[in-house]
């Protein structure tokens, strides 16, 4: 995944869809590594990613903008921070880069 981020930063093509998928994947992999995946009702990382993606699809169908003001630079920082977090960081708030990535 780091290669994807590197390629995106070199080409400037890290788009919102890629960011959201990378964000779901990083979250779900973290849940799995830290032993939260099954407690959250998921049997696999893929199931977790699919469910998070589907939730966004439902929001979009309802007219809710998933990422209203996408910012690629903050998106890349967000993914790096999500990939680097430790299991002990469960209580930490979402990073400001993740919030800024979608203009929240």
Tokens of 100: 């800024």
Confidence of residue 35 (pLDDT cuts 50, 70, 90): very high
Number of domains into which the chain is organized:
1
Per-residue pLDDT band at 3 (split at 50, 70, 90): very low
- pLDDT higher than threshold 60 for residue 8: no
pTM of the model: 0.80
The DSSP output letter for 38 is: T
Find the domain containing 22 and state its range. Answer: 2-101
How many angstroms separate the CA atoms of 15 and 29, rounded? 21
User: Between 12 and 101, whose confidence is greater?
Assistant: 101
Q: Is pLDDT above 90 for 48?
A: yes
């Amino acid at each position: 995944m780091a290669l994807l981020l590197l390629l995106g930063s070199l080409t400037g093509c890290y788009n919102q869809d890629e960011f959201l998928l990378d964000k779901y994947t990083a979250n779900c992999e973290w849940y799995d590594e830290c032993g939260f995946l099954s407690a959250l009702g998921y049997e696999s990382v893929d199931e977790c990613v699919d469910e998070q993606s589907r939730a966004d699809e439902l929001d979009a169908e309802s007219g809710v903008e998933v990422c209203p003001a996408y910012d690629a630079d903050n998106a890349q920082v967000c993914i790096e921070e999500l990939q680097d977090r430790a299991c002990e960081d469960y209580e930490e708030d979402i990073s400001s880069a993740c919030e800024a990535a979608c203009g929240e």
